Amino acid sequence: MQVLVHGGAGSDPEEPEPRQDVLEQAADAGAAESDPVDAVEAAVAVLESDPRFNAGVGSAVQSDGGIRTDAGLMTDDRSVGAACSMPGVEHALRVARVVMEETPHGFVAGDHAVSLADAYGVETGVDLWSERTREKWSDLEPPTGDSRAHLEWIRSRYGDSDPDGRDEDADPDSDPERPDSDLDHDTVGAVAFDGDSLAAATSTGGRWLALAGRVGDVPQVGSGFYCSPAAAVSATGAGEDIARVTLSRRVARHVERGCDADEATSLAIEEFGELTGSRAGVIAIDSDGTLGSAYNSDAMQTARADRR
């Protein structure tokens, strides 16, 4: 089993070494499995359970003080499952797998996705606040009122003018209303190949101080994740722009046209930057077992494991 994982694309993390250790553990956990779907689920679960990452218990907070998780999963036979906007769900990817394997649908959202999780034994009602997010939120004065008031409050905080969600000249440590260098990393993901089959998965807690209810690229097939007989892909970065260009599908298409995964990820990120001016990263593995990763942000930590 070959497994490649990422911890999100963004600015340089404050403590890269412990994050890298967890990524290595995640890759090893995935490689210990015998099936690619089990592999990506096992790998992502490790990252969802670590508050250093913006997924599961480390998730970002939306404008109403709520934490909502999203995830997507796909296999090379184009089976797909996605779930989004789930309060209290640490292992969002497990819910996406339930959608893929147990329902006739591809995507379930909100409270109904939480109810589905509960019905199939995925733990719900989990406290997703970390010490880091609780401290940052406590320094804010969140808005009251309707969605228009929330929008006015987040305009200078969500960071439309900068792909990483903050001004280039701003000191993130001096402004609690801007994401710190870890919250700036907005997804985790994994791809796996057992020599015959491929799987791709991505999970997230969204972006810091997004409008309540915002859903980014992660649970959108072809954007935050994609898998075909040619390649498995997981993306991370500026979610709205990733969705606009269906970044993960773009990587797989390059493989289908003759690139290997390494070439395809580099080409897709180059195109992404030219088309959007934003920052992102992708990881991929192709049907020949070639691994690829590329990013145009300051950093994207990855780890790989190969167990025959």
Residues taking part in catalysis:
187
Question: Strand, helix or coil at 255?
Answer: helix
State the burial class of residue 34 (Cβ atoms within 10 Å of its Cβ: 0-12, 13-18, 19+): exposed
Residue corresponding to tokens 């591809």: 106
State the burial class of residue 139 (Cβ atoms within 10 Å of its Cβ: 0-12, 13-18, 19+): exposed
8 Å CB contact between 204 and 54: yes
Q: How far apart are the C-alpha atoms of 113 and 136, rounded to whole Å?
A: 28
Q: What are the strands of the beta sheet with 280-286, ordered from one edge?
A: 225-227, 231-237, 280-286, 291-295
Question: Strand, helix or coil at 120?
Answer: coil
- Beta carbons within 8 Å of 267's beta carbon, 6+ residues apart: 254, 259
Q: Residue 300 has which token pair?
A: 């994207």
